[in-house]
Structure 1
Amino acid sequence: MATIRKLAVAAIAAVAVVTVSGAAHAVEEGLTVQSGNRDSPLAATPPPTSPGRVSGGRRGRIVGGREVSDRDPETGEQFMAKLFTPDGAGFYCGGSLVSPRHVLTRAGCNVFPGDVVTNHPGYVPAGDLNDIAVLELQAKSEEEMLRAGVVPVKMNENFGNPHGFYVTGFGATDAAAATAGSLQLKRGYQPLRPWSKCREITDAVRLSDGSALRVWEQAQVCTNYESNWSGALCERDVGGGMFRADDVWVNGVRVKEYTLFAVASYWIGTSTQVCPQGYPNVGTKVAFYKDWIASAMQ
């Protein structure tokens, strides 16, 4: 678990929310697994000039949406992260701050040794199984993080039966994935879907070698399928969190409690749309890997 170089990650201030319309799609030929890694960074967004600096510049977004006030209480911007290439080429994946020194992202983002403390040893690219990784940040005190408005998200330990999750990302804004990014970070709400429904699509997917797409229902979540209003994942959204923002009472005061349920892993594209609305989006369950995450953060 030797670390050659620590990764700088910038917190993001969110100012937009997603509402998307569109009918459910029939199964069509040419279904593809879509994700992303550091091989195609978004150069339009400059990396931070110093470790831990809150990033400015251009920001990408979930497909579709509308702008909202900075006062939106459910954006989760205080724990969101952008992952940058060390050569300054740009950002390539999202992540979630889970401690003052650690970010949770996907193994398929292809972080290099030296960037990442631990990639899950069982990661399987064909189907993105065990698609989870823990990154270690350059040293910053918890006080410094709080002054910058950066607060770690709580990690879910018992998946239960949630209705769905917010997703917030930096990816393309159109179904063709032609857009590079935007000044507005965007958020969508994706309903959780049972695998018995999502497999109507995922079981029809064939990988480049002709094999079937593997699904591990206990360790993965499926969202977005047949939804006509949620925000779909697209380029550079993966690695970011699938989270909930629930009202809780603390010392007689109602506050938002943010809980990370999954890490965005991949989505299903079609022959006509890279990032279609209403097709399965897939994440890796945090609760399923809670022991491994705790070990990797030590």
Structure 2
Amino acid sequence: MNLLAFFLLCVTQIWALPLNEKITPFNATSGRIINGSPASKGQFPWQAAVIFTTSSGQSFCGGSIISNQWILTAAHCARGATSFTIYLGTNTLTPDSGSTTVTTTRAVIHPSYNPSTLANDVALIQLTSPITFNTYVQPITLASSTLGSGVSVTVSGWGKTSDSASGVTNTLNYVTLSSITNTQCSNYYGSLGSGVVCATGASKSTCNGDSGGPLVTGSGSNAVHVGVVSFVSSRGCESGYPSGYSRTAYYRDWIRTTTGV
């Protein structure tokens, strides 16, 4: 167990790690998110890839377009960041036709975010000017009602495809999971607040680099954002433990107050 995992276990009783990923060369791999599938271009037009610059270097996370000026992501990604480079409208980390790259310096982290427990792990990035929507760049609807258990959900990202992978992948991947109750999830991580939702799948999970990305129900124009990728077990992405997300509906009022969305 690494030192960060040990610290979190001792202080919070939550055996989990945030999933941001220190920047390494973008190496394409033959694997997927964790036993997922590669996304086609335009399949997830709300998906954002975000490079966060801090005083200690750069890290990589995901995000979601919620309006022409706001990106929803995880607080543990944005914390300490001084600038953000955001790729939109692409399913690779190489610029391509229809993609947009924007930079900004402003983010709003939830005022009650706790880096020790990962409570309230949500943040909003404000763009300096409105982006133009097209086939490949679209906002996603935010959930206003609480996600129940046993619901089919999809999570997407460029995160590591295995615990042994050297870094994030060049290709956007996705996987289908099923939501579980917080009572079930607490069997793995201890007591969880109402702002958390967990999901699981047979040998399927998020991994480092997926943080901040979208957990959604439905697809296409019927997709609804229900969670922000937050944590996974320190036993590893392939451990079979549930992955954890900040519950979108729980933070809906804060998002609306902050962004007007």
Q: TM-score range by the shorter chain?
A: 0.7 to 0.9
Letter matched to residue 195 of structure 2: A
In 2, distance between residues paired with 1:236 and 1:265?
10
In 2, distance between residues paired with 1:261 and 1:202?
20
2:48 aligned with 1:81, yes or no?
yes
In 2, distance between residues paired with 1:188 and 1:113?
31
Q: How does 1:204-283 map to 2 (within 5 A)?
A: 215-216=192-193, 218-224=194-200, 227-228=201-202, 231-246=204-219, 256-270=221-235, 274-283=236-245
Distance 1:90 1:243, change over 3 A: same
2:157 aligned with 1:169, yes or no?
yes
How far off is 1:179 after superposition? Answer: 3.3
How far off is 1:113 after superposition? Answer: 5.1
2:256 aligned with 1:294, yes or no?
yes
Quote the residue 1:130 is aligned against. 120
Distance 1:111 1:36, change over 3 A: farther
In 2, distance between residues paired with 1:111 and 1:59?
33
* Percent identical residues: 22
CA RMSD of aligned residues (A): 2.9
Residues 193, 222 of structure 1: 8 Å contact kept = yes
Letter matched to residue 293 of structure 1: I
How far off is 1:85 after superposition? Answer: 3.4
Distance 1:178 1:103, change over 3 A: same
Letter matched to residue 85 of structure 1: F
Q: Secondary structure at the match of 1:197?
A: helix
Distance 1:84 1:95, change over 3 A: same
Quote the residue 2:26 is aligned against. 44
Q: Secondary structure at the match of 1:85?
A: strand
Residues 60, 170 of structure 1: 8 Å contact kept = no
How far off is 1:228 after superposition? Answer: 1.5
Quote the residue 1:189 is aligned against. 176
Residues 214, 225 of structure 2: 8 Å contact kept = yes
> With structure 1 as the length reference, what TM-score do the two structures score?
0.66
Q: Secondary structure at the match of 1:145?
A: coil
> Where do 5+ consecutive residues of structure 1 fail to align?
1-30, 46-56, 204-213, 247-254
Letter matched to residue 119 of structure 1: I
Q: Secondary structure at the match of 1:99?
A: coil
2:140 aligned with 1:140, yes or no?
no
Superposed CA offset, 1:106-148 (max 9, x none): 101125256343100100112210110010113134xx3326x
Letter matched to residue 116 of structure 2: A
Quote the residue 1:63 is aligned against. 34
Residues 18, 230 of structure 2: 8 Å contact kept = yes
Quote the residue 2:144 is aligned against. 157
User: How many aligned residue pairs are there?
Assistant: 223
How far off is 1:269 after superposition? Answer: 2.6
Quote the residue 1:250 is aligned against. none
Distance 1:59 1:180, change over 3 A: farther
Distance 1:160 1:169, change over 3 A: closer
**Structure having the larger proportion of residues in helix:** 2
Runs of 4+ in structure 1 deviating by more than 6 angstroms, as ranges, are 57-60
How far off is 1:197 after superposition? Answer: 1.6
In 2, distance between residues paired with 1:164 and 1:106?
22
Which residue, 4, 12, 17 being the options, matches 1:34?
17
> With structure 2 as the length reference, what TM-score do the two structures score?
0.75
Distance 1:164 1:125, change over 3 A: farther
In 2, distance between residues paired with 1:90 and 1:232?
24
Which residue, 183, 188, 191 being the options, matches 1:201?
188
Letter matched to residue 248 of structure 2: V
In 2, distance between residues paired with 1:59 and 1:145?
31
In 2, distance between residues paired with 1:181 and 1:103?
20
Letter matched to residue 132 of structure 1: V
Distance 1:160 1:264, change over 3 A: closer
In 2, distance between residues paired with 1:94 and 1:145?
19
Superposed CA offset, 1:149-188 (max 9, x none): 20000000112426131000111111x2423233432100
Quote the residue 1:209 is aligned against. none
